[in-house]
Amino acid sequence: MIGLQGSWDSAYAIENYNQPDGGRTLLGEAIYRYQYRKQWYLVDSLARWAQAFLETIPDLRQSDLIVPVPSSRLLTDYDPASLLVDWISQLSGIPRMNGVLSRQGLISEYSERPRETEGHMRTSQDKVVLGKRILLVDGIFCSGSTLEAACKALREGGASAVRALVFARIERGQVDHQGIHL
């Protein structure tokens, strides 16, 4: 368990994305293949991994709604974040809402200035998040710019608390400004 610092109320990564030798951890490889290689059959294993993690963190379990962080890529035939949140919701019993957040412009996780972005996010359903304790779910955390943008949008939409669960965290020292592992 890795605590993540930012403007959210609390956030955790289940584990690191990389091993010390530069290779991916088992979870890092699984989330990479699921998100970027469209290996959708990994959704059950990943959702169960998340559910087991949620059981250990009461703060995250006390969420009213699970919301996926929208993908950084425009994928017309595959929405890994929404599919994963659907499965986590079924296992945890926490209701989910897909399509709450939308990206506007580029939000780069690999920026040299990790908190500065050219784009932003917005909520498309403010009434859904108003007064709710939101659990954001994202696959990979690098600079935190994506979670920061999502958190800001949800707070502007009236969320009472924003928490986050991320599967794997890349340590910035192991990635250059283009996202290439050193």
The first and second tokens of residue 29, run together, are: 């490889």
Burial class (CB in 10 A: 0-12, 13-18, 19+), 93: exposed
Instruction: Measure the CA–CA gap between 136 and 60, rounded to whole angstroms.
Output: 10
User: Mind listing the domains of the chain with CATH numbers?
Assistant: 2-174 (3.40.50.2020)
Instruction: Measure the CA–CA gap between 121 and 15, rounded to whole angstroms.
Output: 26
- pTM to 2 decimal places: 0.86
pLDDT of residue 143: 86
CB 68 within 8 A of CB 82: yes
Q: What is the pLDDT along the chain (182 residues), one digit of tens a residue?
A: 899 999 999 999 999 999 988 899 999 999 999 999 999 999 999 999 999 999 999 999 999 999 999 877 665 678 899 999 999 999 999 999 998 998 876 555 554 444 444 667 889 877 899 999 999 999 999 888 889 999 999 999 999 999 999 999 998 665 444 455 44
Neighbouring CB atoms inside 10 A of 173's CB total 7
